[in-house]
């Protein structure tokens, strides 16, 4: 039975609707005659009890109890009516009070999810035309003021002026605007007509608290279905904000659905409208979500808008939520990686050859050939690394990643070991440690600052250790992009099974808490050893790969000459090593897309060459609008946090904005201004760039079902009531009895409620049936007694005749 049917039944039985009992105060209409009647009723009740004492010999105990109970209940009912139960209500005086009607003007109101009609049809039919039923009922009682709300809130003359084109819904802001607009007026309450799809980040708690403090009830009317019958939604897409050009991405796409369980649909990846990847996905059970690994390559540089789309299906109610956009900064520059190798060996030669064709990686090799003698490969300038491994933080921190080959810890000074550890934890760089005769425990690394950074716990040093390993991905590794060497997870796992074995001279079987193992090796004794593991450490990452000859994956006899698995693996490995490594100037925003006119909040981190926070730099944001118009905005230090600079930009054009933040610092000591009045030279600390898209959002179409729990909470916390379109006709009466504004006291008597009369008639009928039952039982008992006496006299006569 529906809510409206239940309310009609309640009103039939109890004379008034439930809301009157909720809003009113219960009292008794006592008077002297009534008190005398109460005394008489008590006397009659006592007499009623005494009348049943004489029936104890003829009644069954159960019947006696029922009769007593029914008579007492009848007397209680009579007593209830005699004391004149009354509801005291405060009713709004007609046309003396205001009511604010807030109507959702966002895009989600155009969703046609009920009998092919859009949600806005309810507003049009009930509030938007002359003589509309709900508007007419409200207007007879109140002075009605209309408000529209979406991303902003405004007064409107009538509901007919709504366009339903808003790109966001902010319920709290709408309630605050209506409350302030109607302050000082006799306000009976607020009526909010919406689907409840609040897309704002701000919590609604403060708005409700302010309404509650001023005793302003909110009556919510929910439009739309609480659950779609047939719909597919791309719920979430997790992409990096920036990647190197040519990076092979594996992106998590979360898809949810109802009504299409078990069906297979394609997910397309589009780069500015051009399809770059397609992948099939089997839809999960109704109401559940599935995470799909989607693969594609970011091949074009610049700010690229990628769209992840599922084609609309037959009978789907909402197709606008079938796609998600992601703005990815595809960077086209070279990343500098320092590879320090302790001796000539094939691993370095084949690793360098594997990434030689990658135009975005610059692998600079420092190979020790003898004591204090080094061979340099690919140096950026003639002076780079000429004195061996860097001896200052500024020199070391100029690299984005470090690879340590087979090199012992004793070849570094204590300060250099601490610098390498800080390179990961403070600078945020990537560190990769490879296996070899002088690596891990065999190289004396445990117990050093670098040993603390590494994700593995090496076994004790063993110069004779040698193990052949068949490499297999772990469960975590099977899903990891670097380890996937084929087009799918299944194909990748199968290919790893066919890869040639490799050797390890470092025994590593344990990892540290928080570390993740991606590859393991199975030796001849069927024991597993760590082949590839990593962990986050401070701002950076540390990777351990304790094998010495991955070049077997290229040169083994079973590997075809054209096979590129080894090169693909190392390119992905080195790109992952430097992925997400920060610069001296780092720029972020809370979102990569804003509405036109919505502020872009910039946050810049400024560091010096040793990656220490700088508070005295001059930072400026150079902003280029889609039309080419440029402007400069100062980015100021926040004072509350070292190295943290903030600025706000308000875009006035749709399109993609190019934002570059440049930071400089005075070249004099400590960056302080000179005391001689002369201009100080400025040192460039760096530049950070990013793009922000300014466009109308589509958040209104995601999770767009009517959110009844939120609307119920708004009503309950403010003293209002939640309605649906089916029972909204009771809204005007509910607002009339809130007790707010200009009111008059009404008394509603309850003694003549139909439910009382019906129960009284039932009790009287029940009592008559029980009296009849008692009379029959008494008569039957008398007959049985008479028959027993006759039989007794006959037996006595027989005994006398026998004696004679």
Sign (positive or negative) of CA dihedral 294, 299, 304, 307: negative
Distance CA(24)–CA(22), nearest Å, equals 6
Which three-class secondary structure string do you get for 114-164? Answer: ECCECCHHHHHHHHCCCCCHHHHHHHHHCEEEEEEECCCEEEECCHHHCCC
Distance CA(59)–CA(780), nearest Å, equals 12
Distance CA(636)–CA(615), nearest Å, equals 9
Nearest-5° Cα angle at 247, 243 to 251: 80
**pLDDT value, residue 592:** 86
Tokens at residue 700, please?
């209104």
Contacts of 577 (CB under 8 A, 6+ apart): 337, 400, 401, 403, 430, 432, 541, 543
Tokens at residue 234, please?
């791309």
The secondary element (H helix, E strand) that includes residue 796 is helix 754-803
pTM, two decimal places: 0.78
Q: Phi, psi (5° rounding) for residue 609?
A: -65, -25
Nearest-5° Cα angle at 317, 312 to 319: 35
Tokens at residue 775, please?
């009379």
The secondary element (H helix, E strand) that includes residue 542 is strand 540-545
Contacts of 600 (CB under 8 A, 6+ apart): 589, 594, 648, 649, 650, 651, 657, 659, 692
Q: DSSP string spanning 418-476? A: HHHHHHHHTS--EEEEE-STTSGGGGT-TTSHHHHHSSEEE----TT--EEEEEEE-TT
Contacts of 433 (CB under 8 A, 6+ apart): 404, 439, 440, 445, 450, 454, 542, 543, 544, 545, 546
Q: Phi, psi (5° rounding) for residue 406?
A: -85, 90
- CA separation (Å) from 170 to 195, 709, 733? 12, 16, 28
Residue 13 near residue 752 (C-beta atoms within 8 A): no
Q: How many CB atoms lie within 10 A of CB 732?
A: 22
Q: DSSP string spanning 488-528? A: SHHHHHHHHHHSPPEEESS-EEEE-TT-EEEEEEE-TTS-E
Q: Phi, psi (5° rounding) for residue 718?
A: -105, 0
**pLDDT value, residue 7:** 65
Contacts of 62 (CB under 8 A, 6+ apart): none
Residue 611 near residue 426 (C-beta atoms within 8 A): yes
Distance CA(344)–CA(260), nearest Å, equals 60
Residue 510 near residue 457 (C-beta atoms within 8 A): yes
Beta-sheet strand order (sheet of 323-331): 242-244, 323-331, 302-310, 264-271, 274-282
Tokens at residue 149, please?
């709300």
Distance CA(179)–CA(190), nearest Å, equals 8
**pLDDT value, residue 802:** 36
Residue 358 near residue 351 (C-beta atoms within 8 A): no
Residue 709 near residue 326 (C-beta atoms within 8 A): no
Residue 771 near residue 111 (C-beta atoms within 8 A): no
Q: DSSP string spanning 561-611? A: TT--HHHHHHHHHHHHHHTT---SEEEEES-SEE-TTPPEEEEEEEB-TT-
Distance CA(333)–CA(355), nearest Å, equals 15
Of the CA atoms within 13 Å of residue 722, those in its CB half-sphere come to: 18
Q: DSSP string spanning 644-678? A: EEEEEE---SSEEEEEEEEEEEESSGGGPPPSSSP
Contacts of 552 (CB under 8 A, 6+ apart): 500, 501, 502
Q: Which residues is 457 bridged to in the sheet?
A: 510
Low-confidence ranges of the chain (pLDDT < 50): 1, 56-58, 669-678, 760, 762-804
**pLDDT value, residue 208:** 95
Burial class (CB in 10 A: 0-12, 13-18, 19+), 141: buried
Residue 247 near residue 296 (C-beta atoms within 8 A): no
**Strand 218-222 relative to strand 722-724, pairing:** parallel
Residue in 573, 406, 369 with CA at minimum distance from that of residue 504:
406
Distance CA(82)–CA(390), nearest Å, equals 101
Contacts of 152 (CB under 8 A, 6+ apart): 170, 173
Q: Which residues is 607 bridged to in the sheet?
A: 613
Q: CA gyration radius for the chain?
A: 42
**pLDDT value, residue 789:** 45
The secondary element (H helix, E strand) that includes residue 79 is helix 61-82
Q: Which residues is 269 bridged to in the sheet?
A: 277, 308
Distance CA(540)–CA(455), nearest Å, equals 12
The long-range contacts involving 24-27, CB below 8 angstroms and separated by at least 24 positions, are 24/87, 24/88, 24/89, 24/737, 24/748, 25/87, 25/88, 25/89, 26/85, 26/86, 26/87, 26/88, 27/85, 27/86, 27/87, 27/88
């Amino acid at each position: 039975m529906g809510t409206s049917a239940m309310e009609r039944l309640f009103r039939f039985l109890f004379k008034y609707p439930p809301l009157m009992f909720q809003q009113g105060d219960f009292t008794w209409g006592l008077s002297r005659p009534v008190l005398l009647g109460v005394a008489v009723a008590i006397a009659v009740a006592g007499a009623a009890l005494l009348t049943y004492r004489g029936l104890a010999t003829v009644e069954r105990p159960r019947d006696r109890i029922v009769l007593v109970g029914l008579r007492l209940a009848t007397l209680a009912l009579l007593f209830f009516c005699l004391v004149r139960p009354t509801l005291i209500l405060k009713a709004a005086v007609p046309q003396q009070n205001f009511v604010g009607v807030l109507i959702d003007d966002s895009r989600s109101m155009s969703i046609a999810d009920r009998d092919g009609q859009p949600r806005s049809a309810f507003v049009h039919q009930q509030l938007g035309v002359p003589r509309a039923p709900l508007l007419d009922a409200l207007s007879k009682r109140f002075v009605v003021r209309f408000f529209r709300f979406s991303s902003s809130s405004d007064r409107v003359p009538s509901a007919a002026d709504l366009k339903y084109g808003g790109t966001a819904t902010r319920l709290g802001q709408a309630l605050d605007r209506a409350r302030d607009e109607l302050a000082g007026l006799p306000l009976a309450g607020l009526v909010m007509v919406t689907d409840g799809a609040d897309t704002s980040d701000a919590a609604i708690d403060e708005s409700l608290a302010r309404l509650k403090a001023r005793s302003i009830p909110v009556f919510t009317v929910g439009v739309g279905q609480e659950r779609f019958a047939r719909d597919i939604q791309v719920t979430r897409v997790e992409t990096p904000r920036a990647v190197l050009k040519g990076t092979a991405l594996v992106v998590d796409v979360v898809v949810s659905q109802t009504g299409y369980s078990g069906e297979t649909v394609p997910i397309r990846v589009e780069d500015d409208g051009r399809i770059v990847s397609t992948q099939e996905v089997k839809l999960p059970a109704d109401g559940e979500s599935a995470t799909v690994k989607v693969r594609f390559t970011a091949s074009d540089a610049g700010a690229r808008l990628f769209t992840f789309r599922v084609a609309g299906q037959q009978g789907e109610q909402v197709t606008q939520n079938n796609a998600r956009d992601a703005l990815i900064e595809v960077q086209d520059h070279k990343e500098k990686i320092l590879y320090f190798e302790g001796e000539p060996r094939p691993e370095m030669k084949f690793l360098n050859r594997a990434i030689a064709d990658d135009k975005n990686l610059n692998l600079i090799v420092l190979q020790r050939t003898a004591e204090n003698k080094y061979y340099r490969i690919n140096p950026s300038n003639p002076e780079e690394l000429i004195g061996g491994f860097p001896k200052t933080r500024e020199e070391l921190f100029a690299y984005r990643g470090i690879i340590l080959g087979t090199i012992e810890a004793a070849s570094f000074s204590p300060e250099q070991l601490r610098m390498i550890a800080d390179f990961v934890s403070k600078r945020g760089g990537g560190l990769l440690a490879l296996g070899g005769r002088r690596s891990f425990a065999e190289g004396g690394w445990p117990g050093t600052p670098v040993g603390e950074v590494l994700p593995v716990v090496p076994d004790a040093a063993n110069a004779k250790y040698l193990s052949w390993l068949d490499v297999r991905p772990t469960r975590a590794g099977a899903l990891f992009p670097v380890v996937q060497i084929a087009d799918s997870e299944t194909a990748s796992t199968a290919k790893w099974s066919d890869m040639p074995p490799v050797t390890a001279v470092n025994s590593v079987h344990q990892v540290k808490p928080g570390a993740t193992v991606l590859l393991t090796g199975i030796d001849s004794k069927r024991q597993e050893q760590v082949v590839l593991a990593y962990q986050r450490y401070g701002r950076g990452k540390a990777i351990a790969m304790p094998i010495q000859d991955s070049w077997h994956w290229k040169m083994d006899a079973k590997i075809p000459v054209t096979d590129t698995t080894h090169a693909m693996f190392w390119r992905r490995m080195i790109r992952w090593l430097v992925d997400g490594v920060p610069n001296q100037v780092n720029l972020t925003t809370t979102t990569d897309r804003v509405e036109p006119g919505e502020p872009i909040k910039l946050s810049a981190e400024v560091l010096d060459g040793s990656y220490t926070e700088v508070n005295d730099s001059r930072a400026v944001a150079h902003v280029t609008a889609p039309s080419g118009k440029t402007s400069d905005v100062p980015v100021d230090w926040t004072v509350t946090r070292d190295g943290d600079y903030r600025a706000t930009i308000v875009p006035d054009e749709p399109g993609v904005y190019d934002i570059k933040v440049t930071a400089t610092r005075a070249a004099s000591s400590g960056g302080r201004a000179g005391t001689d009045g002369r201009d100080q030279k400025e040192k460039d600390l760096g530049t950070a760039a990013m793009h922000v898209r300014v466009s109308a959002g589509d958040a209104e179409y995601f999770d767009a079902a009517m959110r009844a729990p939120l609307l119920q909470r708004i009503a309950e916390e403010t003293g209002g009531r939640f309605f649906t379109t089916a029972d909204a006709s009771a809204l005007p009466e509910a607002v009339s009895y809130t007790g707010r504004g200009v009111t008059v006291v009404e008394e509603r008597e309850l003694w003549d409620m139909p439910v009382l009369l019906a129960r009284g008639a039932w009790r009287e009928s029940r009592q008559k049936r029980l009296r009849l039952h008692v009379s029959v039982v008494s008569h039957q008992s008398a007959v049985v007694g008479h028959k027993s006496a006759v039989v007794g006299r006959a037996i006595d006569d027989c005994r006398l005749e026998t004696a004679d």
